Amino acid sequence: MTHAAWIDTHCHLDEFIHHGGAAHADAERRRAAQAGVAHCVLPAVEQANFAAVRELAQHHGDSYALGIHPLFTEDAGEDDLAALEHALAQHAGDPHLVAIGEIGLDGFVKELDWERQQQLWRAQLRLARQHDLPVIVHSRHAVDQVLKGLRELPVRGGIAHAFNGSEQQARILVEMGFKLGFGGAATFERAHRIRHLAQVLPLEALVLETDAPDIPPHWLYVTAAERAAGVPPARNSPAELPRIGAVIAELRGMAADELAEASRANACAALPRLQGLLS
Annotated binding site for a divalent metal cation: 10, 12, 102, 138, 161, 211
Do residues 39 and 9 lie in contact, with contact meaning Cβ atoms separated by under 8 Å?
Answer: no
Helix, strand and coil in the chain, % to nearest 5 = 50, 15, 35
**For 215-276, what is the HEC assignment?**
CCCCCCCCCHHHHHCCCCCCCCCHHHHHHHHHHHHHHHCCCHHHHHHHHHHHHHHHCCCHHH
Burial (0-12, 13-18, 19+ Cβ within 10 Å), 104: buried
Q: How far is C-alpha 251 from the chain's CA centre?
A: 21
Residues annotated in the binding site, as ranges? 10, 12, 102, 138, 161, 211
Cross-strand bridge partners of residue 104 = 138
Cross-strand bridge partners of residue 137 = 103, 160
Q: CA–CA separation, 160 vs 158, rounded Å?
A: 7
| Rounded to 5°, angle at Cα 135 from 131 and 137 | 150
